[in-house]
Amino acid sequence: MSHAGGSLLEASGITKQFGGLTAVNDVSFSIPNKAIVSLIGPNGAGKTTFFNILTGLYKPTLGRVSFGGANITGGRPDRIMSLGLARTFQNIRLFGTMSAVENVMVGQHARMSAGLIGSILRPPRVGREERTVRAKAVEMLSYVGLRVALHDQLATNLAYGDQRRVEIARALASEPKLLLLDEPTAGMNPQESADLTRFMERLRDEMGLSILLIEHDMKVVMGVSEYVTVLDHGEKISEGDAQSVRNDPVVVEAYLGKQEAERQRQESGEG
């Protein structure tokens, strides 16, 4: 699929095998600038594996990933992140014994320059940098809506929803162009999910971000995505705008099983 505004990320022919198991099979995929794109599919479809390939945690067996025109296939995760590709994790991975602010400061690691000697001698330049980074961390935490009283609280002590916020703030602090969110609404109630949906649109409109979303909550996916790609058993079975994917019989079948899909088709035929 090609996009009018140009692609930010382009993945072509991505295949990942673990031993004899093919987790992702020949998936091609692209993300346009300033768009929200979703990756959906049943459990075990290979969504998170695909995510990990994009962010450099896994090297693809075959295929090529380019980001902003640069080839990042199998590159080091920290380099890929510094190019502007930040992520959150399905099961929140904050640094538990660091405060919320410190977590977000780690997110800015790639945007800082202090080295070993600078950290020890702390010349004015490094002192300034520390203050700027701390201020930005506070700003980001407020942007995602973490109460100021919780900013210096240890991450491990925060409530679940707040941990999700800190994780998003940590990713945002790295000044990404593309934000990858791995099931961000997991464990949220419908109200919280709806709020997060609006927040994602705000990120796109205010910060000019592209967002790649892995999500099970179809309400969120259909509400926010400009494009949806469906994976099943590691293969791309459908893609397009939310409406066309929703009505694609292959997708219904993947989610509900063949019998159920046929039953639905008959029902809609009769009705």
Partner 1 sequence: MSTATAAPGAKATDPSQNGSFGLPREVRIGLAIAAILAGALLPLFIDGEGGFIDDATIALAYVVMALGLNIIVGFAGLLDLGYVAFFAIGAYTMGYFGSLFHITADGGEGVHILVSGPAAELPGIHMNFLLIVVLAIIATTIAGMVIGLPTLRLRGDYIAIVTLAFGEIVGRIAINGDEIKGFGTQLTAGRQGITPVDKIDLPFLEAFNSLQLRPWYWVAFALVLIALFVNFRLVDSRLGRAWIALREDEVAAVSMGVPLVKTKLLAYGTGAAFGGVSGAFLGSYLNTVNADQFQFSFSIFILAMIILGGLGSIWGVVIGAVALSFINNRLIPDVLNDVPAKIGLDFDLTELSFGIFGFLLVIMMVLRPEGLLPERRRQIELTAGVEDLAVDDDSYEAKVP
Buried b (16+ CB within 10 A) or exposed e, 68-77: beeebbebee
The count of residues interacting with partner 1 (CB under 8 A) is: 72
SS3 (DSSP) at 42: coil
239: its two tokens: 């893609």
* Binding segment toward partner 1, per CB under 8 A, in 36-44, 197-205, 239-247, 260-268: 197-205
| Among positions 62, 154, 218, 256, the unique one binding partner 1 when judged by CB under 8 A | 154
- Per CB under 8 A, which of residues 214..243 are in contact with partner 1? none
Which positions from 31 through 70 interact with partner 1, judged by CB under 8 A?
55, 57
Q: Are 41 and 231 in contact (CB under 8 A)?
A: yes
Residue 150: both structure tokens together = 């919780």
Tell me the C-alpha distance between 240 and 228, whole Å. Answer: 6
**Residue 200: how many other CB atoms lie within 10 Å:** 22
Smaller CB distance to partner 1: residue 191 or 259?
191
CB of 39 to partner 1, least distance (A): 17
**3-class secondary-structure state, position 87:** strand
The verdict on 124 binding partner 1 (CB under 8 A) reads no
Judged by CB under 8 A, the chain residues 131 through 150 that form the site for partner 1 are 133-134, 138-139, 142-145, 147-150
d(CA 59, CA 53): 6
Q: Nearest distance from residue 40's CB to partner 1, in Å?
A: 21
- Told to check if 187 binds partner 1 by CB under 8 A, we report no
| CA distance to 81, 92, 126, 136, 199, per residue, from 184 (Å) | 19, 9, 35, 23, 12
Q: Give the nearest distance from C-beta 83 to partner 1 in angstroms.
A: 10
Pick the closer one to partner 1 by CB: 1 or 70. Answer: 70
Q: Is residue 236 a contact partner of residue 230, using CB atoms and an 8 Å limit?
A: yes
Give the type of residue at 4: A
93 counts as binding partner 1 under rule CB under 8 A: yes
Q: Of the listed pieces 9-17, 107-115, 231-239, 246-254, which binds partner 1 according to CB under 8 A? A: 107-115
Structure letter (DSSP) for residue 90: S
- The answer to whether residue 188 forms part of the interface with partner 1 (CB under 8 A) is yes
Task: Note the residue count of the chain.
Answer: 271
Binds partner 1 by CB under 8 A, chosen from 94, 181, 220, 254: 94
Out of 62, 112, 218, 237, the residue judged to bind partner 1 by CB under 8 A: 112
Residue choice 17, 33, 42, 89 for contact with partner 1 (CB under 8 A) = 89
Distance CA 210, CA 221 (A): 15
CA nearest neighbour of 46 among 186, 232, 177, 255: 232
- When asked if residue 153 is in the footprint of partner 1 (CB under 8 A), the reply is yes
Q: Which amino acid is at 188?
A: M
- Asked if residue 105 binds partner 1 (CB under 8 A), the reply is yes
Nearest distance from C-beta of residue 17 to partner 1, angstroms? 21
Residue with smaller CB distance to partner 1, 85 or 252: 85
